[in-house]
Amino acid sequence: MLICCQANAYPNVTKPNLVQIFTKTIADVKKLKDSDTGKALQLLNSAKENLDKLSLVNQLTFYKYQADIYADLSRFQLAKDVATFGLDLAKKLKKPNVLISELSYIRGFAIESLGNFKLASEDYLNGLDVAQSLNDQQFIAQGLINMGAIYYQTNRYKLSLMVLNDALKIANNLKDEDLQGYINTELGSLYSYLGELDQSLKFYRTAYQHYSNIGKDSYALNSLANMAANYQSNRHYGQAIDVYKEIIDKLKGKDDNAMYYNVYMGLSWSFLRQKKSDPETAYQYLLIAEQYLGDVERHSAKLSFLIDKSYVLEGLQRFDDALDSLAQAENLFTIKQKQENNFNYISILGLKAKISRSLGHYETAYKTLSEYVERYITYLKAEQISAVQEVRLRYESEQSELQKKSLKKEGSDQALELLQAETKNRNQQLYFMVIALAVLIFAWLLYKLVKGQRRLLITSRTDVLTGLVNRRRLLQVGKSLCVNAQKQQTELSLLMIDLDFFKKVNDDFGHKQGDIVLQTLAQLGNEMFRKNDVFARFGGEEFVVLLPNTSKEQAINVADRLCKKMAAQTWQHNSKSIPSITLSIGVATNKKFTGTSTDSLDFEQLIKQADDLLYQAKALGRNKVCA
């Protein structure tokens, strides 16, 4: 059903031995879980076969770890299903057990990640009730942290600070660095929501230190990702890029596609938004991130991706493509979300106004911008917490100033912050006035500005003539796709394409005509291939296409269609017809199936096999596909 099994894990052993082996397996899983989650899951699943011969508590322990690992891998639906199975099994227990709390928390986290805060809260509170009945301080603290996260995500900041502060007291008393890391992470997120980015960064750094101290590598990486996102919010894009690249180095050899997605999207956004904007590099990182999007189960991931993609395409001045991406994003909203001034929807309006202006559609730009500003001001008024309230809430959290001992000092500090709060309120009122004035000025400028153009930045990753991925970038992406395909046991096919008698085209009709042929092939391929496919110019008249999740038979079909499209093209040179130009294609796949065994080719072997098949196609008379 949900669990992968490894047969004959414990052959012919007695029950006492089964318990010993299971206990050792769980201990090893616990050690592996934070450094190599994939191996931990594989090891855990090896204990499945004889699970029904073990005690109920051991069975619940198995499902707890399995659900937890799935959650760590961001496979939230699986985590939810396994935790639900475990909780149903736990109904057979004769008395409360802390495993019920753990399974409830894991299921709650999975449901929260899938976007249902109400159901997640129910699980968190159920788990907290069990922990309190057992007076288990560690899991009481964990339940409080979970609820604190729900509270700040639903704008109940006072409650969030209260419960996180209570959890922090417990963690400090227990001297539990795992809990301390968890709490500091949530406090960092809370202070980000409150706009206190410097304080937020301190919490993330503290969380990173706690997790590093106890060897929880994946959690430490998550803290680094939070720090990078914080740098982005502070517009310190260079620092954000450095941290994201550090994470990529630390991720090598780890199976964490959700983290890869977040990091590459972060890099894309940082390169786009840095002072010297680099939309071309941003786009390349966006394409890499898109390869991992299917493995991200976070409920808002697709929407966020489409909006970010639109910003990058706008930076590249690919305005029509940007509008298409925005239209796809809009389709994900319900009518209610649009009416409620959802922030993402407001962002879409702002970008649409900017693109309309760039296209010279000034009336549309003016109307859209007016709606954007009206909604944005309404959103700010609805969402803002008064600065005075923020000060009071911060003082309710002993963490904010590490438990001030002097009431006199506390009073003077509070008076100073209250004065700053009043100034902040006045600044907010001024801010709204400035926005309104900016709208009037911008509306006037919309009808005065002329459509501007700038040359696109071409990086070392792109072939200048065709706009396709170049050879160097292909080799990087290809190796990555091969590794992922091998890990996930999926098929990856490769087309090696060569233009037949291309040298004769250059010799007879000139290199300019040859360039037109190359560009036409690139255009035909871009129209045919999927978004996740990688189309590259390998060199000269040779092209390569990488087709993830594509069998050999499917790849042959794609190659045949491309051959027919190319052969059907008509060519003119100086008003004279040029003979038909054809393709020869070699098709290779990373998997060879022999009986029940599967051998997987690496990228260099895949290239060589496709190249050999290409020459076979040429030897058979060209205009052929060989596989």
Least confident window among 57-71, 172-186, 338-352: 338-352
Task: Give the tens place of pLDDT for each residue, 370-390.
Answer: 888 788 777 666 655 444 344
Average pLDDT score over the chain = 81
Which among 417, 422, 537, 560 is positioned nearest to 469, based on CA atoms? 537
Residue 513 region, left (φ>0) first, then alpha (ψ -120 to 50), else beta? Answer: alpha
**40 and 15 Cβ atoms separated by less than 8 Å:** no
pLDDT band at 432 (very low <50, low <70, confident <90, very high): low
Tally Cβ neighbours within 10 Å of residue 148.
27
Q: What is the predicted pLDDT for the residue at 404? A: 38
DSSP string, 292-333: HHTT---TTHHHHHHHHHHHHHHHTT-HHHHHHHHHHHHTTS
pLDDT digits (tens, 9 = 90+) for 111-168: 988 888 899 999 999 999 999 999 999 999 999 999 988 988 887 888 888 888 899 8
CB distance 544 to 604 below 8 Å:
no
CA–CA separation, 426 vs 561, rounded Å?
65
Q: Distances from the Cα of 591 to the Cαs of 292, 482, 489, 532, 534, in angstroms?
A: 21, 10, 9, 19, 19
Query: In whole angstroms, how far apart are CA 142 and each of 125, 136, 175?
Result: 11, 10, 14
| Helix, strand and coil in the chain, % to nearest 5 | 70, 5, 25
pLDDT of residue 406: 38
Q: pLDDT class for 88, splitting at 50, 70, 90?
A: very high
Q: Percentage of residues in the chain with pLDDT exceeding 70? A: 81
Angle of helix 98-113 relative to helix 76-90, nearest 10 degrees, comes to 150
Radius of gyration of the chain (CA): 29
pLDDT confidence bin for 417, thresholds 50/70/90: very low
- The structural domains of the chain, ordered by start, are 471-626 (3.30.70.270)
Q: How far apart are CA 202 and CA 225, in angstroms?
A: 14
- What phi, psi does 515 have (nearest 5°)? -65, -40
- The percent of residues in the chain predicted with pLDDT above 90, rounded, is 42
Amino acid at 118: K
pLDDT digits (tens, 9 = 90+) for 522-581: 999 999 998 889 999 998 899 999 999 999 999 999 999 999 999 999 998 887 888 899
Of 33-47, 251-265, 327-341, the one with minimum mean pLDDT is 327-341
In 3D, which of 393, 24, 40, 404 has the Cα closest to residue 194?
Answer: 393
Q: How many CB atoms lie within 10 A of CB 212?
A: 17
User: What is the pLDDT at residue 449?
Assistant: 41
Task: State the pLDDT at residue 437.
Answer: 52
Model pLDDT for residues 102-118, shown as the tens digit of each residue: 999 999 999 988 888 89
Q: What is the pTM of this model?
A: 0.52
Q: How confident is the model at residue 477 (pLDDT cuts 50, 70, 90)?
A: confident
pLDDT given at position 381: 62
Which residue type occupies 77? Q
Output the CA–CA distances (angstroms, integers) from residue 383 to 160, 340, 438, 453, 527, in the order listed. 16, 12, 22, 38, 44
Confidence (pLDDT) at 358: 87
